Amino acid sequence: MSENIDLVKSVLRAYVNDDRDEIERRIADQFSFTSPYDNQIDRTSYMERCWPNHEATKAIDFIRFFENGDDVVTSYEVTLLSGRKFRNTEILSVQNGKISAIEVFFGWDLPHPATNGKSIDIAAEE
């Protein structure tokens, strides 16, 4: 594994290990986080909004990693204390040995809510 992938793993595992200090050390002061709900929020907002999720996180299983220059792409599955599972994919940018940006793309619940080979009727959910 590369240093950047090891860095990403350490930040994501901090949620399972209840290790806020690890995240604080590994995220750059000039940091941004983007998700379907967040548009380039800063480090302080990220910690206020996202860190509390560690209280519900039981395990993380890494599915894949790709590197492209200073970016690491990862897909992972999270198991919550409730037993619920979900999968996400993230692009994490690394500068000077710290994570400078995260873009998260929410995945789906596990098991998938659609029957195998079928789709969910989005119009019915609106």
How do residues 45-73 score in pLDDT, each as one tens digit?
999 999 999 999 999 999 999 999 999 99
Q: So what's the pLDDT on residue 123? A: 66
Task: Please tell me what DSSP assigns to residue 41.
Answer: B
Q: So what's the pLDDT on residue 122? A: 67
Tell me the whole-structure pTM to 2 decimals.
0.87
- The full set of domain ranges for the chain reads 3-112
**Rounded alpha-carbon distances, angstroms, from residue 107 to 5, 6, 13, 88, 99:** 20, 22, 18, 4, 21
Q: Which residues of the chain have pLDDT under 70?
A: 1, 122-126
Which string of b and e fits 105-126 if b means at least 16 CB within 10 Å?
eebeeeeeeeeeeeeeeeeeee
Q: Class of 3-112 per CATH?
A: alpha beta
Which string of b and e fits 62-94 if b means at least 16 CB within 10 Å?
eeebeeeeeebbbbbebbeeeeebebbebbbbb
Q: So what's the pLDDT on residue 99? A: 98
